[in-house]
């Protein structure tokens, strides 16, 4: 077993990608490792003709993945947009792994991201000693992706300052990166494109300019439609985590995952599953990603401070930590939910007691 804490998608799912390549008879765009149809099969899962099972990476509307993949075959870049925790980064990584065989050309957007992080930088010791030269140039992931005909990923695009965002306009429209200091340019090789992610909680932080918006095709990734879909997502991601971390714990019972997902969905939607009771909504996002985190944390508690079986006491602290972000307002919402909903469910008495006692 690998000692790497978290392998890249192209390493972790290398066998699946190889099997898809072997059986891929579709036309591949320039520099693509798989045909667009096989990329979608990799994302949503499929049983191949030889009986090999490709696991789903995205559980949801297949059409959204088809739109995303089709966008990347054109000269438009792709913007994955939605609530925090709706698998934007996860989808971005797997798209890059399937298309380019390389998901590592990534820029993490922050308020401190500069133009140099997107275009290119300089090795200043070499620059001072030799003056501007190609050897003194420090390539960014975007520049490398342009040279190699691969996908570049930009996480949290709207966290980057507006003036720095607009650095992308020439790259996306002209497929060229000018280097005026050397009187030259880098022209993108076929296969190059950009996948950016942004969450709507950052709306208004650094809005994309209209010029930049036109260079992107936006695909909105929604929260899971049904509770069964969300449970399946949590179960699969938790299984993967448990295997990677080698936790000495039993796989969580489906009942425990169902209860966590139910709590998150009810508080997120402001109404119980049966539609009979309205609930106040806390300020926290309560995304699927946070539900996965609660289960993972509970498994660690069960493995190292319990008997290895996930119980209500193991997940209580994680649930409260996810829900109560504001110690005043969210605490009131949580206590009300605990007393009016959780307490009334006969098979939830253990969760009620575990949460009440914290």
pLDDT recorded at residue 200:
81
pLDDT digit string (tens) for 240-280? 888 888 889 999 999 999 999 999 999 999 999 999 999 99
**pLDDT greater than 70 at residue 202:** no
Q: Please tell me whether residues 98 and 176 are part of one structural domain.
A: yes
Q: Please tell me whether residues 96 and 35 are part of one structural domain.
A: yes
Report the pLDDT averaged over residues 48-74. 96
Q: Please tell me whether residues 80 and 52 are part of one structural domain.
A: yes
**pLDDT greater than 60 at residue 1:** no
130 lies in some domain:
yes
Domain with 111 in it: what CATH number? 3.40.50.300
pLDDT digit string (tens) for 121-165? 999 999 999 889 999 999 999 999 999 999 999 999 999 999 999
Measured CA angle at 107 (ends 103, 109), to 5 deg: 135
Alpha carbons within 13 angstroms on the beta-carbon side of residue 202 total: 20
4 lies in some domain:
no
3-state secondary structure of 108: strand
Q: Please tell me whether residues 144 and 17 are part of one structural domain.
A: yes
Give the integer Cα–Cα distance in Å for 165 and 161.
Answer: 6
Q: Please tell me whether residues 73 and 94 are part of one structural domain.
A: yes
**pLDDT greater than 80 at residue 171:** yes
Tell me whether residue 323 is exposed, middle or buried, using C-beta atoms within 10 angstroms of its C-beta: 0 to 12, 13 to 18, 19 or more.
buried
Q: Please tell me whether residues 207 and 82 are part of one structural domain.
A: yes
Q: Please tell me whether residues 31 and 76 are part of one structural domain.
A: yes
pLDDT digit string (tens) for 221-242? 999 989 999 999 999 999 988 8
21 lies in some domain:
yes
Q: Tell me which residue range forms the domain holding 315.
A: 227-356
Give me the chain's average pLDDT, please: 94
Report the pLDDT averaged over residues 43-69. 96
Q: Please tell me whether residues 174 and 35 are part of one structural domain.
A: yes
310 lies in some domain:
yes
Choose the final residue of a domain: 203, 220, 237: 220
**pLDDT greater than 70 at residue 83:** yes
159 lies in some domain:
yes
2 lies in some domain:
no
pLDDT recorded at residue 5:
87
Choose the final residue of a domain: 196, 220, 244: 220
- pTM greater than the 0.85 cutoff: yes
pLDDT recorded at residue 284:
86
Instruction: State both tokens at 4.
Output: 């790497």
Contact call for residues 299 and 291 (beta carbons, < 8 A): no
Q: Please tell me whether residues 248 and 165 are part of one structural domain.
A: no
Report the pLDDT averaged over residues 292-319. 95
Q: Please tell me whether residues 171 and 289 are part of one structural domain.
A: no
172 lies in some domain:
yes
- Residue environment code for 289-300, b if the CB has 16+ CB neighbours within 10 A, otherwise e: bbbbbbbbbbbb
Q: Please tell me whether residues 186 and 216 are part of one structural domain.
A: yes
Q: Please tell me whether residues 239 and 170 are part of one structural domain.
A: no
- What is the number of domains present in the chain? 2
237 lies in some domain:
yes
Choose the final residue of a domain: 166, 196, 220: 220
Contact call for residues 9 and 97 (beta carbons, < 8 A): yes
């Amino acid at each position: 077993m690998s000692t790497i804490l978290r392998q890249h998608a192209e390493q972790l799912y290398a066998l699946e990608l190889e099997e898809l390549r072997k059986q891929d008879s579709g036309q591949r765009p320039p520099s693509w490792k798989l045909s667009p149809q096989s990329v979608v099969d990799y994302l949503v899962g499929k049983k191949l003709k030889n009986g090999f099972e490709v696991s789903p990476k995205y559980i949801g509307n297949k059409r959204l993945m088809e739109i995303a993949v089709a966008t990347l075959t054109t000269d438009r870049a792709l913007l994955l947009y939605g609530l925090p925790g709706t698998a934007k980064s996860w989808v971005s990584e797997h798209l890059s792994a399937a298309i380019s065989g390389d998901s590592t050309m990534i820029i993490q957007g922050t308020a401190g991201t500069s133009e140099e992080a997107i275009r290119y930088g300089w090795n200043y010791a070499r620059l001072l000693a030799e003056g501007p030269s190609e050897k003194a140039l420090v390539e960014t992931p975007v520049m490398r992706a342009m040279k190699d005909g691969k996908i570049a990923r930009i996480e949290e695009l709207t966290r980057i300052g507006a003036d720095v965002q607009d650095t992308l306009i020439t790259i996306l429209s002209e497929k060229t990166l000018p280097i005026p200091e050397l009187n030259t340019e880098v022209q993108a090789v076929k296969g190059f494109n950009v996948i950016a992610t942004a969450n709507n909680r950052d709306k208004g932080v650094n809005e994309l300019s209209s010029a930049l918006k036109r260079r992107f095709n936006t695909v909105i990734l929604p929260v899971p439609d049904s509770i069964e879909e969300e449970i399946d997502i949590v179960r699969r991601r938790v299984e993967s985590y448990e295997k990677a971390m080698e936790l000495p714990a039993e796989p969580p019972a489906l009942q425990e995952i169902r209860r966590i997902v139910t709590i998150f969905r009810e508080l997120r939607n402001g109404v119980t599953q049966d539609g009979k009771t309205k609930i106040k909504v806390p300020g926290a996002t309560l995304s699927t990603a946070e539900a996965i985190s609660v289960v993972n944390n509970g498994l660690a508690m069960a493995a190292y401070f319990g008997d290895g079986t996930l119980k209500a006491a193991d997940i209580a602290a994680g649930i409260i930590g996810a829900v109560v972000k504001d110690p005043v307002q969210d605490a009131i919402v949580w206590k009300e939910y605990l007393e009016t909903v959780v307490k009334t469910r006969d098979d939830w008495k253990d969760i009620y007691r575990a949460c009440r006692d914290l």
